[in-house]
Amino acid sequence: MIRYIILFSAILGLFAYGEEGRKTPRKAGQEFIDSLLRARAESPVPESEKEWEVLKKKWMGRIKEECFSGWPNRARADDSKEVFRVEKDGLALRCVEYSSMGRRLPLYVAHRSGLEDPDLVVLNLLDAAAWEDFLATMRPGFEEQLNRWELPEGDFKSFKQHQGMFSSFKWVMAYAPPTGVGPTQLGPEKTGKRNLRLQAAGHTIDSVRVWDARRAIQTLRSAGEMDQVSLWLQGSGKMAGVLTYASLFEPEITRLDLHNLPLSHSDGPFFYSILQIMDVPQAVAIALERSKVVIYQKGKKGWEYPSLVAQRLSWETKLQLRSRQEDD
């Protein structure tokens, strides 16, 4: 009971007071809170590929109808716009803006100067801390291009490390701050009002972010000139969960690198009715069929369900659990 009281308070703060946790005088989120506190759905381990297909089809159908019904029927035609493209100190940085549910979001693409035929591209979905890290890392080389944002102190050590990485490997790193992070972060009162509008349209902030991630993937492949390059997705915490769901709807995701992925939707990401359908381990199991999944966390417990599914369906090599104490 205590755990549910804590959960109730946390979710009420998210919906009624906004992401910053400061009070906005309004009543909101009760339906969403109730959906989290209802009994959880059972998740049987399939005995065969046929059983798995039936189970997966049921889950995917329900999350489309009950969790993501507010999404557009289809993505808009590519209306991306290049903001800048610049090279300095052996690095190239490009910014492309794209549309996602009425908002313009930036996508930053970095690699070594003159790179042709990259081996892979990693899309990083940024939370607030990762956005600050991105700005600090890139400021020493690209302050003029990034000064439209409030910049933290430049991290010259990180910038040098990225120079070394890009010079050694034919990699591309892409960075996408979703709705409510960085350029679209709002103060507490405006955040509360925005969340009310999202709720009225059948969204949570995290269901919107799944769509943002899908649009970032689509933009990276089209305007980002990475349509033929192996695509990895990387995120931490709730953003790792957001990317897990985005990967279920976008084709040809080679690998997911998920850091501190929540073991349950009780800790995020938050979607309407999700725990009545399935939980995070079941989403990971679905992702395994399509992509390699690497989960980084302290210890290796909590992922028994996708591990069992992988064993039953001969996907053992597609799931890796790495302790944070191990070298990545």
Residue 307 has pLDDT above 60, yes or no: yes
By DSSP bridging, strand 81-88 and strand 103-112 are: unpaired
Structure tokens, 125? 């979905």
Structure tokens, 140: 């020493």
Contacts of 297 (CB under 8 A, 6+ apart): 259, 260, 261, 321, 322, 323, 324
Burial-class residue 103 by CB neighbours within 10 Å (0-12, 13-18, 19+).
middle
Q: Which among 118, 71, 129 has a CA at the least distance from the CA of 92?
A: 118
3-state secondary structure of 93: strand
Cβ atoms of 192 and 24 within 8 Å: the answer is yes
Nearest to 259 by CA among 324, 312, 204: 324
Q: Taking the model in full, what pTM does it have? A: 0.88
Parallel, antiparallel or unpaired: strands 91-100 and 103-112: antiparallel
Task: Answer yes or no: is pLDDT of 5 > 70.
Answer: no
Q: Is the pLDDT of residue 17 over 70?
A: no
Give the pLDDT mean for 286-294. Answer: 97
pLDDT number for residue 111: 97
Q: Band the pLDDT of 13: cuts 50, 70, 90.
A: very low
Residue 253 pLDDT exceeds 50: yes
Q: How far is CA 11 from the centre of its chain?
A: 19
Q: Is it the case that residue 189 has pLDDT exceeding 90?
A: no
- What per-residue confidence (pLDDT) applies to 79? 87
More confident call, 327 vs 135: 135
Q: Sign of torsion, CA 263 108 68 205?
A: positive
pLDDT in tens, 208-245: 999 999 999 999 999 877 888 999 999 999 999 999 99
* Cis status, amide bond into 269, omega within 30 of 0: yes
- Supply 78's token pair: 């590519």
| Stronger pLDDT, 271 or 10, i.e. the higher one | 271
Picking from 221, 205, 298, 223, the residue whose alpha carbon sits closest to that of residue 254 is 221
CA 209 to mean position of chain CA atoms: 7
Q: Please report the pLDDT score of residue 284 as a whole number.
A: 98
Please, what are the domains in the chain?
81-323 (3.40.50.1820)
Does residue 328 carry a pLDDT above 50?
A: no
> CA 292 to CA 257: how far, in whole Å?
9
High-pLDDT (> 90) share of the chain, %: 74
For residue 199, the model assigns a pLDDT of: 79
Written as one string, the DSSP assignment of 187-206 is: -HHHHHHHHHHHHHTT--HH
Asked whether the predicted pLDDT for residue 106 surpasses 70, the reply is yes
